[in-house]
C-alpha cells in the first residue's frame, strides 16, 4: 500500500535536523570577503552599471520619431499639391476670362524675330511694289489728260455734217471707254494699296476701299446710264456699282497677277489683281477667260 502525500509530508516534518558544524558561519563570511569585484568593462564602467535613460527608451522612441518624420514629409507634400491645384484653378479662370473677352489666336507659338536676310527680302519686295504702283499712277495721269482733251473737243460747239456727227458719236463712245478704263485703273490701284497694308488680303467689297478712292463716281461706268450715279459714300451701297468684283476677301498674291478682280460688262474691260487693265472684244474675252479652283483668270493668247 502506497503512502499518501499527507503521510509523506508528516514524515518529512519529523526528519532529523543535524546541527551545523562549528565555525561554518565564520568560514562562509571569510569566503565572501575574498571574492574579487565584478570585472570592469573596457571603458572602465562596470558591466553591472544601470543603463541610461536613452539606452532604456530608444527602442520605443525610434519608431515614434520615424513616424513623426513621415508625417512632416506628407504634410509638406499635401501643401505643395494644394498650391499646385490652386495655381491650376487660377490659370483655368484666367483662360476662361480671356476666351470670353477676345478670340484666341490659333498660333500658339511666338513668331520668331525676322532675320536680316528676311528683312532685306521684304524691303526689296516692297520696293518693287512701290515702283509698279508709281508706274500705274503715271499711266492714270496720262489717261486723265487724254480724257480731258477728248471732253474739250466734244464740248466745242460747231455746225457738223453727218460724217462729223458720226465721228463725234464715235469720239464720245471712245471717251466713255477711256473713262471706264481710267475708273478700273483707280480701283485696281486702291485694291493693291489695301492688300499691301493688310497682309495681301483683298477688301471684302468696294466700300471698304473708299479710303483710297476720291469719289464713288469712280465705281460707275460712264456708258451705263441704267444706274443712278451717287455722289457721296453715305449714299453708296455694295450693290450700287456697275462693275463686278470677283476677289472679295481672297488673297492678292504676286503669283496670281492674271486673276480677274473687276469687270465692266458694257465694255468688256477687265481689271486684274496686279492692278493692270485689259480692254478686250467679246470674242477675245470668251477665248481668254478661264476658271481654275473657283477663280477667274485672263490668259492672253
Q: Over pLDDT 70: what percentage of the chain?
A: 60
Cell of residue 137, nine digits: 499712277
**Dist CA 264 CA 182 (whole Å):** 12
At residue 2, the pLDDT reads: 60
- Segment 119-132 shows an average pLDDT of 76
pLDDT reading at 240 higher than 60: yes
pLDDT reading at 123 higher than 70: yes
pLDDT reading at 243 higher than 90: yes
Report helix, strand or coil for 290.
strand
pLDDT reading at 41 higher than 50: no
Q: Is 157 or 287 the better-scoring residue by pLDDT?
A: 287
Instruction: Specify the range with the lowest mean pLDDT, choosing from 5-9, 60-64, 152-156.
Output: 152-156
pLDDT reading at 102 higher than 60: no
**Dist CA 165 CA 173 (whole Å):** 12
At residue 105, the pLDDT reads: 47
Which residues are registered as beta bridge partners of 298? Answer: 289
Instruction: Specify the range with the lowest mean pLDDT, choosing from 35-39, 145-149, 171-175.
Output: 35-39
How many Cα atoms within 13 Å fall on the side-chain side of residue 2? 2
At residue 42, the pLDDT reads: 46
**Dist CA 153 CA 195 (whole Å):** 38
At residue 190, the pLDDT reads: 92
pLDDT bin (cut points 50, 70, 90) of residue 132 is confident
- Segment 266-292 shows an average pLDDT of 83
pLDDT reading at 45 higher than 70: no
Taking the alpha carbons of 99, 105, 106, 111 in that order, is the dihedral positive or negative?
negative
Crossing angle of helices 162-197 and 116-154, rounded to 10°: 160
pLDDT reading at 127 higher than 80: no
**Dist CA 194 CA 196 (whole Å):** 5
**Dist CA 103 CA 88 (whole Å):** 21
Those residues with Cβ within 8 angstroms of residue 171's Cβ, 6 or more apart along the chain or in another chain? 150, 153, 154
At residue 104, the pLDDT reads: 43
Dihedral pair phi/psi, residue 20, rounded to 5°: -70, 145
Give the Å distances, CA to CA, from 281 to 34, 171, 188: 148, 18, 20
pLDDT reading at 295 higher than 80: yes
At residue 39, the pLDDT reads: 47
pLDDT reading at 181 higher than 90: yes
pTM attached to this predicted model: 0.48
Widest CA span in the chain? 189
- Segment 170-184 shows an average pLDDT of 91
Residue ranges covered by each domain of the chain: 121-298
**pLDDT tens digit sequence for 16-35:** 666 667 777 777 777 776 55
Amino acid at each position: 500500500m502506497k503512502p499518501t502525500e499527507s503521510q509523506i509530508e508528516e514524515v518529512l516534518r519529523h526528519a532529523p535536523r543535524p546541527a551545523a558544524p562549528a565555525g561554518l558561519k565564520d568560514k562562509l563570511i571569510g569566503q565572501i570577503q575574498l571574492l574579487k569585484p565584478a570585472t570592469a568593462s573596457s571603458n572602465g564602467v562596470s558591466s553591472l552599471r544601470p543603463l541610461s535613460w536613452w539606452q532604456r527608451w530608444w527602442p520605443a522612441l525610434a519608431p515614434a520619431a520615424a513616424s513623426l518624420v513621415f508625417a512632416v514629409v506628407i504634410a509638406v507634400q499635401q501643401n505643395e499639391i494644394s498650391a499646385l491645384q490652386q495655381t491650376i484653378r487660377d490659370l483655368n479662370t484666367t483662360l476662361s476670362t480671356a476666351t470670353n473677352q477676345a478670340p484666341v489666336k490659333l498660333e500658339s507659338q511666338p513668331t520668331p524675330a525676322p532675320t536680316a536676310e528676311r528683312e532685306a527680302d521684304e524691303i526689296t519686295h516692297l520696293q518693287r511694289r512701290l515702283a509698279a504702283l508709281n508706274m500705274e499712277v503715271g499711266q492714270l495721269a496720262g489717261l486723265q489728260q487724254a480724257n480731258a482733251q477728248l471732253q474739250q473737243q466734244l464740248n466745242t460747239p460747231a455746225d457738223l455734217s453727218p460724217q462729223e456727227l458720226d465721228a463725234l458719236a464715235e469720239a464720245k463712245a471712245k471717251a466713255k471707254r477711256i473713262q471706264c478704263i481710267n475708273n478700273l485703273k483707280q480701283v485696281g490701284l486702291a485694291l493693291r494699296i489695301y492688300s499691301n497694308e493688310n497682309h495681301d488680303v483683298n477688301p471684302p467689297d468696294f466700300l471698304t476701299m473708299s479710303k483710297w478712292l476720291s469719289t464713288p463716281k469712280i465705281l460707275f461706268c460712264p456708258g451705263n446710264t441704267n444706274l443712278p450715279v451717287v455722289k457721296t459714300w453715305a449714299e453708296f451701297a455694295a450693290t450700287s456699282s456697275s462693275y463686278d468684283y470677283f476677289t472679295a476677301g481672297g488673297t492678292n498674291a504676286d503669283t496670281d497677277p492674271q486673276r480677274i478682280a473687276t469687270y465692266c460688262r458694257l465694255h468688256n474691260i477687265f481689271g486684274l489683281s496686279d492692278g493692270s487693265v485689259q480692254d478686250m472684244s467679246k470674242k477675245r474675252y470668251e477665248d481668254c477667260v478661264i476658271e481654275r479652283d473657283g477663280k477667274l483668270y485672263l490668259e492672253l493668247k
